[in-house]
Amino acid sequence: MMIGVDSVSLKRGTFSLMGVSLEVPEKSYTVLMGPSGAGKTLLLETIGGFHTISEGKITIDGQDVSLYPPEMRGIGFVYQDYSLFPHLTVEENISFGLKMKRVPSAERKETVHTLLSSFSLLPLSERYTGSLSGGEKQRVALARALATRPSALLLDEPFSALDPDTRSSCMDEVKALQREYGLTILQVSHDREEAYRLADQVVVMDRGVVLQSGLPATVFSRPGHRTVASIAGYENVLEGTTGPADGEGTPFIVGGVAIIVHGSFPVYTSCLACIRANDISLSRTDIPRNGSLNIIEGQVVSLIATDQGTRLRFDGPFPLIIEIPRHIWPDRGYQPGEKVRVSIAPEDVHLIPLAGEHVNGVVRS
Amino acid sequence: MSSPEFSHRKRPWFSGHSLLAFWIPGMILVGVIVLALLVIAIPVLRNPEYLASAAADPVVFQAFLVTFLAGFCAVGILALLGTPLAYALSRSESPYKGLVETLVDIPLVLPHTVAGLMVYLLFMSRGVLGAPLGELGLVFEDAFPGIVAAMVFVSIPYYVNAVREGFGRVPVQLENVARSLGASRIRMFLSVPLPLTTRHILYGALLAWGRAIGEFAAVIMIAYFPVVISTLIYYRFNTGGIAESQAIAFLLILLCLVLFFIFRFLTRRAGVYDDRS
For B183, the closest chain A residue by CA position comes to A100
Residue-level pLDDT at B276: 62
Least confident of A37-41, A97-101, B4-8: B4-8
Out of B173, B187, B191, closest to residue A79 by CB: B173
Is residue B148 a part of any domain in this protein? yes
Q: Is-contact A177 A138, C-beta < 8 A?
A: no
Q: Give the integer Cα–Cα distance in Å for B247 and A195.
A: 76
User: Under an 8 A CB cutoff, do A96 and B178 touch?
Assistant: yes
Number of domains in chain B: 1
Q: Is the pLDDT of residue A212 over 60?
A: yes
Residue-level pLDDT at A329: 60
Q: Is-contact B216 B111, C-beta < 8 A?
A: no
Is residue B203 a part of any domain in this protein? yes
State the count of interchain CB pairs (< 8 A) between A and B.
Answer: 77
Tell me the average pLDDT across A234-251: 89
Those of residues 29-58 in A touching chain B at CB distance below 8 A are 45, 48-50
B184 CB within 8 Å of a chain A CB: yes
The pLDDT tens digits for B219-272 are 999 999 999 999 999 999 999 889 889 999 999 999 999 998 999 898 888 888
pTM for the predicted model, two decimal places: 0.85
Is residue B160 a part of any domain in this protein? yes
Cβ neighbours of residue A360 under 8 Å, at least 6 residues apart?
A: A19, A20, A21, A209, A210, A211
Least confident of A143-147, A361-365, B109-113, B178-182: A361-365
Q: Report the complex ipTM.
A: 0.85
Out of B173, B180, B196, closest to residue A75 by CB: B180
pLDDT tens across the length of chain B (277 residues): 444 555 566 666 666 678 888 999 999 999 999 999 999 999 999 989 999 999 999 999 999 999 999 999 999 999 999 999 999 999 998 999 999 999 999 999 999 999 999 999 999 999 999 999 999 999 999 999 999 999 999 999 999 999 999 999 999 999 999 999 999 999 999 999 999 999 999 999 999 999 999 999 999 999 999 999 999 999 999 998 898 899 999 999 999 999 989 998 988 888 888 766 5
Q: Is the pLDDT of residue A184 over 90?
A: yes
A249 CB within 8 Å of a chain B CB: no
Q: Is the pLDDT of residue A362 over 70?
A: no
Amino acid at the residue B228: V
Residue-level pLDDT at A360: 43
CATH number of the domain that residue B139 is part of: 1.10.3720.10
Pairing status of strand A295-305 against strand A280-284: unpaired
Is residue B12 a part of any domain in this protein? no
Is residue B6 a part of any domain in this protein? no
A87 CB within 8 Å of a chain B CB: yes
Is residue B26 a part of any domain in this protein? yes
Find, among B229, B57, B228, B235, the residue nearest to B143 by Cα. B228
Is residue B217 a part of any domain in this protein? yes
Residue-level pLDDT at B273: 82
B196 CB within 8 Å of a chain A CB: yes
Q: Is B72 exposed, middle or buried (0-12, 13-18, 19+ CB in 10 A)?
A: middle
Is residue B13 a part of any domain in this protein? no
Give the other-Cβ count within 10 Å of A335's Cβ. 9
For residue B103, the enclosing domain spans 20-267
- Torsion angle of alpha carbons B230, B232, B234, B235, nearest 10°? 160
Choose the mutation target among B180, B196, B272 for the interface with A, i.e. most A CBs under 10 Å: B180
Q: Is the pLDDT of residue A327 over 90?
A: no
Q: Is-contact A316 A340, C-beta < 8 A?
A: no
Which helix or strand (DSSP H or E) is residue B162 part of?
A: helix B144-168
Q: Give the integer Cα–Cα distance in Å for A206 and A37.
A: 8
Those of residues 109-168 in A touching chain B at CB distance below 8 A are 127-128, 130-131, 144-145, 147-148
Find, among A249, A277, A278, A252, the residue nearest to A353 by Cα. A252
Secondary-structure breakdown of chain B: helix, strand, coil percentages, each rounded to the nearest 5: 75, 0, 25
- Percent of chain A at pLDDT exceeding 70: 95
Q: Which residues in chain B have their CB less than 8 angstroms from residue A87's CB?
A: 195-196, 271, 273
A101 CB within 8 Å of a chain B CB: yes
Residue-level pLDDT at B200: 95
Residue-level pLDDT at B18: 80
